[in-house]
Chains A and B, each alone.
Chain A
Amino acid sequence: MSESKKPGLLLIGAGQILTSMIVSGFLLGYLLDLYFETQPIFILILGGLGFIGGFLKVYRLLTDPELQ
């Protein structure tokens, strides 16, 4: 496998990684809230974590692709 090509191809989706991480954070938070009936605690926490995680992931992808 040529290691150099994989991260390059992952960069195609860098824009969507950020948004989809935020959306999936809210989604998981919503489901957890439904399950534990704790609205709106988890949706806020996981949404925030998704936001941070999305930024982190895109930052890492753009600065050091080999990390991913």
Chain B
Amino acid sequence: MTWNLDTIFISIALGALMVVVGGRVARNATDGVPGGFQNFVESILEFVQTQVKDSFPGHNPLIAPLALTIFVWVWLMNFMDLIPVDLLPLIGSWLGLPYLKVVPTTDLNTTLAMALVVFGLTLFYNIKVKGLGGYLKMFLFHPFGKFAMPANIVMTAIEEVAKPLSLGLRLFGNMFAGELVFLLIALLGGAAALGAGLLIWFPLQVVLDLAWLLFHILVITLQAFIFMVLTIVYLGMAHTTDH
């Protein structure tokens, strides 16, 4: 078994950063006029709260903190993509690390693990809210009615497996592709290692890198948002009895 220590370390470090900064903001929060950073954190909180209110039926005190954690954590992990691609691996190589994967979400293990946690929670609440019988009934009668039970079981099983799979693969795919584009753009200037004449491509690298960087800010935010929203929606589906 292989352990992706770089992924584990960086994701835990970012999680710790989130907890420490969040804790500090909470400790220093004032009722009066909030400072700039408190304002920023409150706007994120409000944004997530609105999403949960809009797309989650009923009441569950776990959902909003979970959604907030997912949104901020995934965003932070995605944000590592915006640090120059070879900067941290270079520093790592000075410290004796031969290989360093900087963006945890470009590792399928991270995204699938998070998707599996969401899947586990969905299963738990499905069984808790609908009861084991109610959940199994969904497997038996769901897409085609009671006359096609074997097909229903298979179809619903496929559908349930598809949820975490799409959740994990979407985030991984988007982030991996984004990272790859950064690497390819970096190769434009990197080609100068073959000969100084190839430095002619350097201005192109600067322009493309800047453009992709600006666009990627949107991508990382959108992917974090989608992961959060789909988590809320899937858990919301688990909480409705008329599925």
Contact = CB atoms under 8 A, between A and B. Distances in A.
A35 to B, nearest CB: 14
B162 A1 contact: no
Given A17-B162, A53-B159, A2 B170 contact: no
B230 interface: yes
Q: How many B residues are at the interface, by size bracket?
A: 20 to 34
B161 A56 contact: no
Interface in B101-147: 143
A10 B170 CA distance: 14
A56 B144 CA distance: 11
Most B C-beta atoms less than 10 A away, residue of A13, A20, A27: A20
B58 to A, nearest CB: 8
Interface in A12-42: 12-13, 16-17, 19-21, 23-25, 27-28
B55 A20 contact: no
A25 B159 CA distance: 8
Interface stretch (B20-28, B73-81, B150-158, B202-210): B150-158
B39 interface: no
Given A9-B229, A46-B154, A21 B162 contact: yes
B55 A5 contact: yes
B237 to A, nearest CB: 8
| B-side interface mostly | helix
B225 to A, nearest CB: 9
Given A9-B230, A9-B233, A27-B161, A20 B166 contact: yes
Contacts of B161: 24, 27-28
Contacts of B163: 20
A44 interface: no
29 contacts: A1-B54, A1-B55, A1-B57, A1-B58, A2-B55, A6-B55, A6-B233, A6-B236, A9-B55, A9-B233, A10-B233, A12-B226, A13-B166, A16-B166, A16-B169, A17-B162, A20-B165, A20-B166, A20-B169, A21-B162, A23-B165, A24-B158, A27-B165, A28-B157, A49-B151, A49-B155, A50-B162, A53-B155, A56-B143
10 closest A-B pairs by beta carbon, nearest first, are A20-B166, A24-B161, A20-B162, A16-B166, A1-B57, A24-B162, A21-B162, A20-B165, A5-B54, A25-B158
Interface of A: 1-2, 5-6, 9-10, 12-13, 16-17, 19-21, 23-25, 27-28, 45-46, 49-50, 53-54, 56-57
